[in-house]
């Protein structure tokens, strides 16, 4: 087995970075160019752009050494959903994360580690090749690609530090011998590297505020500012909260984003890359794949450009209107259903299976069934792929950061940083007013207002994969998550295979 810190691109480089998506994701669409060795590739702008696509491509990976879709896994770990599936033995890694029965060999850690270090390797390789590019490659072209590569490297490290804490920082392509000497960096050092990458991207004047339709999915200044603010927020240093608020307000005041007038439109096909979208990962249904692709070399190897969460979240063996059949993972908890019962967003967030059954629909009861299911990423019959294995080919985009999230993070940062509570309250009320809820009165401020912000985050962002890390960073996970042990379950264990290959250079996380 390889050490995936030292993830190697195969010699026939063109085949590694082939088409990722198409349709309105045109900037990611590539056609085979024949074969080209890595040593003589990256000689033209077209070849360097293919290298950038290879970095973006990792964002879509959901089946690296198991099913490792971040949204689904984080839903299962939170109190928004259970793990689900067909039975208790279906996807043990998901069940282990749900019940916090994780061990160094049981859980999603190996696939997540491999995915993110693959993305980091690709970003490092592209940055190196940009430095070596021939003189005829334009400087502006190189500067924009370098900024995007640094953003993506920062994004991958942000997920790594949230999942694993202390991880190795690698910012160059290493030889196999050098990899053996890599050690973990402290959490503060990892965050410093993330901020360095994101600041470099933000300070690049060539990074656009918006992109044309043919480039939807490429990073913009708004995505950089939003992620940089989030990175600072997650470090929980109240002395830096006004700095985080400043980045969020760069997005809010940019004039390039607006809340969708109708909440229900956000997760429709027509709502992809809508006015509210700050950072969105595109998926496509037109790259056919089959199960042979998945299992040909052992672990799953991302056989399509589809969003596997969608298939996972659907009702098992469903027969009825609107929805397609799925695999009954991440059934919504009764806790979330009760919490949202009187909220207008409920009907656009949660599918009530009992209502469907009363109307004549049917489905097979899965593991941890509650008869409540995720609606935001539900599989729709009208959006089934027409070729290949349809279960692997859902073209539903993942909404990573949207403006409502930015409003709520800005409000939290202002309150925690001693900023203007009126402004913070206004941001929360903007989110509430969109769905017809009454404004929080001016008498609410301080910690009571902060608690209202956190409750609003759960309502607004339910089942979108934010809840678990929100509970961890606010110290509330131990209060609401059964089986959660503080000082241990904030992080995943490092993959045992990585520890074995590291010759003693890596140390396991506490409690594992």
Q: If phi over 0 gives left and psi between -120 and 50 gives alpha, with beta otherwise, what is residue 46?
A: alpha
Handedness of CA 69, 74, 77, 83 (dihedral sign): negative
Neighbour-count burial of 156, counting CB atoms closer than 10 A to its CB (0-12 exposed, 13-18 middle, 19+ buried): buried
Which helix (H) or strand (E) segment is 195 a member of? helix 187-202
- Torsion angle of alpha carbons 404, 224, 112, 350, nearest 10°? 10
> Rounded distance, CA 14 to CA 30, Å?
10
Give me the residues paired with residue 473 across strands: none
Q: Which residues of the chain have pLDDT under 70?
A: 1-38, 292-301
> Rounded distance, CA 250 to CA 413, Å?
14
Query: Residue 286 has what pLDDT?
Result: 84
Query: Residue 123 has what pLDDT?
Result: 98
> Rounded distance, CA 151 to CA 227, Å?
9
> Integer distance in angstroms from the first to the last C-alpha of the chain?
22
Among 281, 257, 192, 194, CA closest to 405: 257
> Rounded distance, CA 331 to CA 329, Å?
6
> Rounded distance, CA 508 to CA 279, Å?
33
> Rounded distance, CA 206 to CA 139, Å?
11
> Rounded distance, CA 322 to CA 325, Å?
10
pTM above 0.85, yes or no: yes
Query: Residue 44 has what pLDDT?
Result: 96
What angle separates helix 45-57 from helix 139-164, to the nearest 10 degrees? 20
| Helix residue spans in 45-186 (DSSP H) | 45-57, 70-77, 92-99, 109-132, 139-164, 176-179
Give phi and psi for 380, each to the nearest 5: -105, 135
The DSSP 8-state label assigned to residue 352 in this structure reads E
Query: Residue 287 has what pLDDT?
Result: 79
Q: Take residue 31 and report the two structure tokens written for it.
A: 């056609």
Q: Take residue 108 and report the two structure tokens written for it.
A: 């999603």
Give me the residues paired with residue 326 across strands: 316
- Is there a contact between 465 and 70 (Cβ–Cβ < 8 Å)? yes
Q: Take residue 512 and report the two structure tokens written for it.
A: 């594992």
- Chain CA centroid to CA 502, Å: 27
């Amino acid at each position: 087995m390889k050490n995936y810190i030292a993830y190697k691109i195969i010699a026939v480089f063109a085949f590694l970075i082939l088409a990722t998506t198409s349709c309105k994701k045109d900037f990611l669409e590539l056609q085979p160019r024949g074969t080209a060795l890595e040593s003589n590739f990256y000689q033209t702008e077209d070849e360097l752009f293919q290298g950038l696509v290879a970095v973006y491509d990792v964002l879509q990976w959901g089946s690296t050494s198991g099913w490792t879709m971040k949204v689904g896994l984080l839903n299962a770990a939170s109190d928004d959903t259970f793990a689900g599936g067909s039975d208790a033995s279906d996807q043990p890694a998901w069940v282990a994360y749900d019940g916090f029965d994780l061990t160094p060999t049981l859980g999603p850690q190996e696939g997540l580690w491999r995915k993110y270090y693959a993305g980091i390797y690709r970003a490092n390789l592209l940055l190196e090749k940009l430095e070596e590019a021939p003189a005829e490659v334009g400087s502006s072209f190189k500067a924009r690609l370098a900024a995007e590569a640094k953003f993506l490297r920062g994004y991958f490290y942000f997920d790594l530090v949230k999942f694993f804490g202390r991880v190795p920082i690698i910012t160059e392509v290493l030889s196999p011998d050098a990899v053996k000497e890599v050690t973990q960096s402290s959490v503060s050092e990892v965050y410093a590297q993330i901020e360095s990458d994101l600041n470099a991207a933000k300070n690049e004047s060539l990074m656009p505020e918006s992109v044309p339709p043919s480039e939807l999915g490429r990073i913009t200044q708004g995505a950089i500012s939003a992620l940089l603010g989030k990175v600072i927020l997650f470090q929980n240093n109240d002395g830096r909260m006004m700095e985080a608020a400043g980045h969020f307000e760069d997005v809010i005041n940019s004039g390039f984003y607006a809340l969708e007038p109708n909440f229900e439109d956000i997760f429709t096909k027509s709502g992809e890359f809508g006015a509210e979208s700050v950072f969105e990962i595109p998926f496509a249904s037109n790259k056919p794949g089959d199960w042979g692709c998945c299992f040909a070399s052992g672990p799953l190897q991302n056989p399509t450009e589809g969003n596997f969460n969608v298939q996972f979240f659907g009702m098992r063996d469903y027969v009825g209107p609107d929805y397609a059949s799925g695999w009954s993972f991440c059934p919504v908890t009764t806790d979330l259903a009760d919490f949202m019962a009187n909220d207008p967003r409920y009907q656009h967030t949660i599918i009530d299976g009992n209502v469907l059954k009363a109307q004549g629909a049917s489905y097979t009861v899965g593991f941890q069934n509650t008869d409540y299911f995720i609606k935001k990423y539900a599989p729709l019959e009208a959006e089934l792929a027409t070729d290949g294995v349809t279960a692997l080919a859902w073209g539903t985009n993942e909404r990573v950061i949207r403006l409502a999230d930015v409003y709520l993070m800005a409000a939290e940062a202002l309150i925690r940083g001693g900023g203007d509570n009126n402004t913070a309250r206004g941001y929360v009320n903007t989110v509430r007013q969109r769905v017809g809820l009454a404004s929080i009165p001016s008498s609410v401020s301080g910690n009571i207002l902060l608690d209202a912000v956190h409750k609003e985050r759960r309502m607004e962002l339910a089942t979108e994969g934010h809840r678990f890390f929100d509970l961890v960073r606010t110290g509330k996970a131990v209060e609401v998550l059964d089986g959660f042990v503080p000082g241990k379950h904030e992080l995943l264990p490092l993959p045992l295979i990585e520890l074995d290959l590291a010759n003693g250079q890596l140390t396991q996380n506490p409690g594992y």
